[in-house]
Structure 1
Amino acid sequence: MTDTFDQIFPTGEKNEAFGQYFIGQSYLAPLTDGTVPVNNVTFEPGCRNNWHIHHGADGGGDQILLCTAGSGWYQADGDEPVSLEPGTAIRVPAGTKHWHGAKADSWFSHVAFITPGGDVRNEWLEPVTDDEYGRLPASGSTSGD
Structure 2
Amino acid sequence: MFLLQAPLHHHQQHLRHSGYGCRRNPSAGAFAEGVAAMVLLSIVHVLANMLGGCTYIRSKQDFNRATANKILAVAFLVLSWIFFGVSYSTLMIGTLANSRSNRFCSLPHRWFFLIGGIFCLGHGVLTSAYYVSAIASKKEDKENAQQENPSNRSRA
**Normalised by the shorter chain, which TM-score bucket?**
under 0.3
In terms of Rg, which structure is larger? Answer: 2
Considering fraction of residues, name the structure with more strand: 1
TM-score by length of 1: 0.22
TM-score, length-normalised on structure 2?
0.20
